[in-house]
Structure 1
Amino acid sequence: MKIRSDILRVYREVHGWVGICAGLLLFVAFFAGAVSMFEHPLQNLTSPQLDMPPPVPLSRTPDLLEKVFSAYPQARQTYTILLAPDRSLPGRVAWPVHPPHGHDTGPMFVATLAPDGALVVRQQAIAPVAHFIDMLHQELGIPLPHAISRAFMGIIALLYGMALISGVLLFLPTLARNLFAFRFREGPRKLWLDLHNLLGFFSLPFHIVMALTSVVFAFHDPIFAVQSRVFGTSHASPHLPMNKISSPVAANQHPASPLLPPTELVSSLETQAPGFVPTTLTYSQGRGGMMLRVSGQDSRYSMRGPTAGFATVDPRSGKVLSADYLPGHQKTGFAILTVFFALHFGSFGGNAIRWGYVLLGLAGAGMFYTGNRLWIDARRRREKATGLRRDSLPTSILARLTPGWVAGCVSGITVILLLGAIKPDIMTGTAVAYVYYAVFLSCLSFFLCRPQKT
């Protein structure tokens, strides 16, 4: 394929400048995103081990709830029955210590029964390390308010798309000749170029998906507003707290009738949604009465959340009231929108897909690093051609900033994960952010201040 040299020159300029403006931020997004593909296992790894008896059998949950409500009446407002307890929440029932605000539930009370039937309650501060890494991925490593960083991420995603298009057009004329070329003997610049092209070409579909879905996430709220109007649903988001969602069906419940025992609810769901494996039953006093959201997994279908799909269920009859986010039971419009989310999260196909996303995410981070190295080398050659013996100030800063930024991101994430696993008790609240940015800024300062080779 032949493209005019003047057009290629324009594409090269677009690709270079867009890449250099977004490359370091996208490195953080891809590296942290690859790590956060296993956010829940990492949360378990970095959570303190609670000293409490094993969870009671699911059939004894009504007895446990009766004792919880007697000792903690506020738990009636919002509580969760854990069908698959783990290290972070090792009891059968959990509820927030403070009323939940948005996505962050804060510390949780966890309850079970001792062998003699006595109520055992512990407070668990949900380990923030894994969530912090996920937020680094979402906010590109910039500590700004989430609403601002999300819009900024959308702009970076659009630039990212421009870089992809221009890069493909640059590579097409030499595709057959350079696809598998690794020119070890022609200097590091040629090797960086070959690696950059190889990583970019073979992960191109993945990068296109990431660019498109990142724009969707950046403009999350308008998309949900349009979805609500077009598809006639009152569920603005599957992640809203249950007490913020109104359901017309919930208003028709009979408050006097008892709640269905968890074992019967699970059996009812198995009948209505075969293959869907529930993991939590979250009860909440909503605007129309007691509401129940069931979270669970079904690897045969795309899931709306990073690790789960959702169903709104009548807690008194076990009937599914809303399958808008239930894998395999969505209407066409919702299923199409879910595909966008699942393609970004890798929430389909089980762990094989997740590991694939980890490798593609790390490859993407490598592609952005090599892209910056190539831009720096090209700028140095142009400056030497004009007679400069040393790097100009902008080139020098970027040449130092690139390895410092990359080393800071990788080292910061590694340190907080290690400290979270070894000393989970101290890695709480803002301590995680302080440790990460201390390591990040230390690496950045080291590379910015060290003498530059001539």
Structure 2
Amino acid sequence: MKVRSDILKVYRSLHTWVGITTGLLLFIGFFAGAITMFKQPLDRWISPPDQRLAWVEAAQLDSLVAQTLQQHESARQEFKLYPVQREDLAAPMQWSASGGGRGLKLSDTQTLASLDEQGQLITDTQTPSKFGRLVDMLHRTGGIPGDFDGEYIGIWILGIAGVLYFLALVSGLILLLPTLVKDFFAVRRGKNKKRFWLDAHNVVGITSLPFHIVISLTVIVFAFHDQFYDALREVVYPQSSAVRAASTTAYTTENLLPPSALIARAKAESPDFEVTEMLYLGLESPRPFVRLSIYNAEALVHGPITGYVGFHPYTGELVMTSMLPGKAEGWGAVVNYFFALHFGSFGGNLVRWIYFFLGLSGAFLFYSGNLLWIETRRKKQRKNDTHLPTQPLNLRLMAAGTVGVCFGSIIGVCLAMVAGKWAHGIAENINHVYLWVYYASFLLAVGYAFWRGAAIASWRLLAACAFSCLLIPVTSLVALAFPQTDLWINTSSAALAVDATGFGFALAFAFAAVRSRKRAFSGSRDSVWAAQDAPTVATQKNSEVDEFEDPKEVAA
């Protein structure tokens, strides 16, 4: 397909500069987003078994709720009930005195409730680990701290990056059109590393293009959801007005429908789904509401894992079906599909693993895009000239920033996860440990990259990534071999998969570190990736044949 050269030049400039301005932020978002596909297994791996209360049978849920609401008024504002036992849950019922909300309250204590063998209420208070939610927040904000007007600043910035990200996808596709058929799966290896990175960048981008289009569009919606929902509320969610309509009837918790009755009504609405969570809100307010999370591994659902259906907790009236799979119509159904495609909440674990690797492929796109920008602009050593050119400052800074930010975020997440076990019993609030470890590791990696330069920092930070990933299975092995350390190991298949994945990525990063070190000391000397103290060898052997001196391929 022929595209005019002036049009290609415009889209090349757009693609290049959009990628450069948003790439590092989006790398963090995609890397953390890939991890969030397995938030529950991560919480299983990191949660200590001694913080769990005994589970109860489904038939005992009615008694549990009745006794809790009678003895604890603080639960009447908001509480969660879990009909299905999960390893990452500490009790079948829990609530916080400060209520819920969208914000992440790291120091908030949580009350857990269950029944003893005699059927009497037992409670415990603790500060729960929120590692999974912290990684999710990293995914949503790119790690940018701070909030404004009740919303995280990073979410808005990532939303703007999502707009630019969509432009980069469109412009990149246009750039590939002239050679799409010929070079679709071509990944050419050889002396010219730039050609290899470009081919890999193009193949990953084009094969995962539908995924990236969905992600870019939904990121925009998530970032500016309040503005969109306020404008579309009556069109997309007309039934939600029934939830918000204030009632003149005075409700007391003694008249609350038992959970079993609401579960039965939810099953009648969606026979193929299982109720996994019940969120009760404002039971003594004019707007009482209970939202049931319903799960079917094969269904397209609105949430990250489940769909939702809403009832009036006293009358049993069905008041929300817009997030109920198969019941939403019009715009509501379109929104549900987009949410499901963003979260990968369909197809069970197979789709989750696919989304995990698609998320990592997105991170690779932005990392490789930066490398291409750097390699395209570096000053090359001329033939028969023994003088090595000095690389421009902007290239050296971009290279250092790329390896520092990308590898620093990986190191920070892995070390924060491991710290969740090693600091248990020592730290007063483990959630603050996660934050300190992540940001300290991240900032140290970035600072080290700018201090030593990209050539040295790249392979050393890759080695640090390998070591950080290796600490995950090593921690479990220490817990197994030395129980006196007060560490623990969860032997469920999901938790063991976390250990196996950590070990697999440790090997991958170790291999990358070896290759990166070889490039630093034995690769082309006229590069920002060459160690300054490495010996200079013959120019003819070091100078790469530049296959990119075609004006159609050189970025503007």
Q: Secondary structure of the equivalent of 1:395?
A: helix
Q: 1:16 to 1:58 in 2, by over 3 A?
A: same
1:372-415: CA deviation from partner (whole Å, max 9, x where unpaired)? 00100011047989x98111111111111111111101111111
Show the 5 A alignment for 1:237-256.
246-247=244-245
Conservation of the 8 A alpha-carbon contact between 1:301 and 1:328: no
Q: 1:97 to 1:308 in 2, by over 3 A?
A: same
Q: Which residue of 1 aligns with 2:177?
A: 172
Q: Which residue of 2 aligns with 1:37?
A: 37
Q: Which residue of 2 aligns with 1:239?
A: none
Conservation of the 8 A alpha-carbon contact between 1:305 and 1:342: yes
Conservation of the 8 A alpha-carbon contact between 2:374 and 2:399: yes
Please give the alpha-carbon distance, in whole angstroms, between the structure 2 residues aligned to 1:195 and 1:71. Answer: 62
Q: Secondary structure of the equivalent of 1:430?
A: helix
Q: Which residue of 2 aligns with 1:201?
A: 206
TM score, norm. by length of structure 1: 0.89
Conservation of the 8 A alpha-carbon contact between 1:34 and 1:359: yes
Q: 1:175 to 1:64 in 2, by over 3 A?
A: closer
**What is the letter of the counterpart of residue 215 of structure 1?**
I
- Does 1:277 find its partner at 2:274? yes
Please give the alpha-carbon distance, in whole angstroms, between the structure 1 residues aligned to 2:114 and 2:302. Answer: 31
Please give the alpha-carbon distance, in whole angstroms, between the structure 1 residues aligned to 2:90 and 2:155. Answer: 33
Match of 1:434 among 433, 436, 443: 436
Please give the alpha-carbon distance, in whole angstroms, between the structure 1 residues aligned to 2:111 and 2:253. Answer: 28
Tell me which moved more, 440-449 or 418-427. Answer: 418-427
Conservation of the 8 A alpha-carbon contact between 1:268 and 1:319: no
Show the 5 A alignment for 1:2-401.
2-51=2-51, 53-104=53-104, 106-145=108-147, 146-231=151-236, 233=238, 235=240, 246-247=244-245, 258-285=255-282, 287-288=285-286, 290-381=288-379, 389-401=389-401
**What is the letter of the counterpart of residue 380 of structure 1?**
R
Q: Secondary structure of the equivalent of 1:185?
A: coil
Q: Secondary structure of the equivalent of 2:190?
A: helix
Identity percentage of aligned residues? 34
Structure 1: runs of 5+ lacking an equivalent: 237-241
Shift of 1:159: 1.2
Shift of 1:118: 4.0
**What is the letter of the counterpart of residue 62 of structure 2?**
P
**What is the letter of the counterpart of residue 35 of structure 1?**
I
Shift of 1:53: 4.9
**What is the letter of the counterpart of residue 292 of structure 2?**
V
Conservation of the 8 A alpha-carbon contact between 2:96 and 2:111: yes
Q: 1:260 to 1:133 in 2, by over 3 A?
A: same
Tell me which moved more, 305-314 or 142-151. Answer: 142-151
1:44-73: CA deviation from partner (whole Å, max 9, x where unpaired)? 332333355521222223333343334423
Q: Secondary structure of the equivalent of 1:122?
A: strand
TM score, norm. by length of structure 2: 0.74
Q: Secondary structure of the equivalent of 1:186?
A: coil
Q: 1:392 to 1:184 in 2, by over 3 A?
A: same
Shift of 1:224: 0.9
Structure 2: runs of 5+ lacking an equivalent: 456-530, 533-556
- Does 1:444 find its partner at 2:446? yes
Higher relative contact order by CA 8 Å / sep ≥ 6: 1 or 2?
A: 1
**Number of residue pairs aligned between Structure 1 and Structure 2:** 445
Please give the alpha-carbon distance, in whole angstroms, between the structure 2 residues aligned to 1:231 and 1:407. Answer: 41
Show the 5 A alignment for 1:419-430.
419-425=419-425, 426=427, 428-430=430-432
Please give the alpha-carbon distance, in whole angstroms, between the structure 1 residues aligned to 2:375 and 2:269. Answer: 61
Shift of 1:233: 3.2
Q: 1:340 to 1:266 in 2, by over 3 A?
A: same
Conservation of the 8 A alpha-carbon contact between 1:28 and 1:136: yes
Conservation of the 8 A alpha-carbon contact between 2:162 and 2:216: yes
Please give the alpha-carbon distance, in whole angstroms, between the structure 1 residues aligned to 2:260 and 2:67. Answer: 18
**What is the letter of the counterpart of residue 303 of structure 1?**
V
Q: Which residue of 1 aligns with 2:412?
A: 412
Q: 1:169 to 1:383 in 2, by over 3 A?
A: farther
Conservation of the 8 A alpha-carbon contact between 1:412 and 1:436: yes
Q: 1:274 to 1:333 in 2, by over 3 A?
A: same
Q: Secondary structure of the equivalent of 2:431?
A: coil
Shift of 1:252: 6.3
Conservation of the 8 A alpha-carbon contact between 1:255 and 1:289: no
Shift of 1:359: 0.9
Please give the alpha-carbon distance, in whole angstroms, between the structure 2 residues aligned to 1:406 and 1:15. Answer: 20
Conservation of the 8 A alpha-carbon contact between 1:52 and 1:122: no
Alignment root-mean-square deviation, CA: 2.7
Conservation of the 8 A alpha-carbon contact between 2:374 and 2:398: yes
Conservation of the 8 A alpha-carbon contact between 2:143 and 2:154: no
Q: Secondary structure of the equivalent of 2:280?
A: strand
**What is the letter of the counterpart of residue 187 of structure 1?**
N
Shift of 1:300: 4.4
Please give the alpha-carbon distance, in whole angstroms, between the structure 1 residues aligned to 2:52 and 2:157. Answer: 44
Q: 1:299 to 1:143 in 2, by over 3 A?
A: same
Please give the alpha-carbon distance, in whole angstroms, between the structure 1 residues aligned to 2:51 and 2:17. Answer: 55
Q: 1:253 to 1:67 in 2, by over 3 A?
A: closer
Q: 1:199 to 1:5 in 2, by over 3 A?
A: same
**What is the letter of the counterpart of residue 446 of structure 2?**
L
Shift of 1:421: 4.6
Q: 1:57 to 1:251 in 2, by over 3 A?
A: farther
Please give the alpha-carbon distance, in whole angstroms, between the structure 1 residues aligned to 2:190 and 2:228. Answer: 51
Shift of 1:130: 1.2
Q: Secondary structure of the equivalent of 1:429?
A: helix
Q: 1:149 to 1:104 in 2, by over 3 A?
A: closer
